[in-house]
């Protein structure tokens, strides 16, 4: 599945269980649940060191 330029790969069974889709202000939003995150080549983007609050992100997207 692709959302814009972002590709999300998962088992069909994961959709609705660990991978959720929604619409906010007419735009698609994907929510992915996991115990941990592993980045390719061991690199970790700095923005993931302090993940934002889900409600705050939703409020920002509603503006």
| pLDDT value of position 43 | 64
- Higher pLDDT: 39 or 15? It is 15
Q: What is the mean pLDDT of the chain?
A: 82
Q: What's the rounded Cα separation, in Å, for the pair 24 and 61?
A: 7
Where is 22: in which H helix or E strand? Answer: strand 19-24
Q: What's the rounded Cα separation, in Å, for the pair 47 and 20?
A: 21
Q: How confident is the model over 13-23, as pLDDT tens digits?
A: 888 889 999 88
Q: Check whether 48 has a pLDDT greater than 70.
A: no
Q: Judge contact between 26 and 33, C-beta under 8 A.
A: no
pTM of the model: 0.66
- Strand positions, DSSP E, 1-63: 2-3, 6-7, 19-24, 27-32
């Amino acid at each position: 599945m692709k959302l814009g330029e972002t590709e999300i790969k998962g088992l069909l069974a994961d959709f609705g269980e660990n991978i959720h889709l929604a619409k906010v202000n007419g735009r698609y939003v994907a929510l992915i649940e996991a115990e941990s995150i592993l980045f390719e080549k061991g690199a970790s983007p700095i923005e993931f060191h302090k993940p934002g609050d889900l409600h705050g992100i939703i409020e920002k997207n509603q503006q």
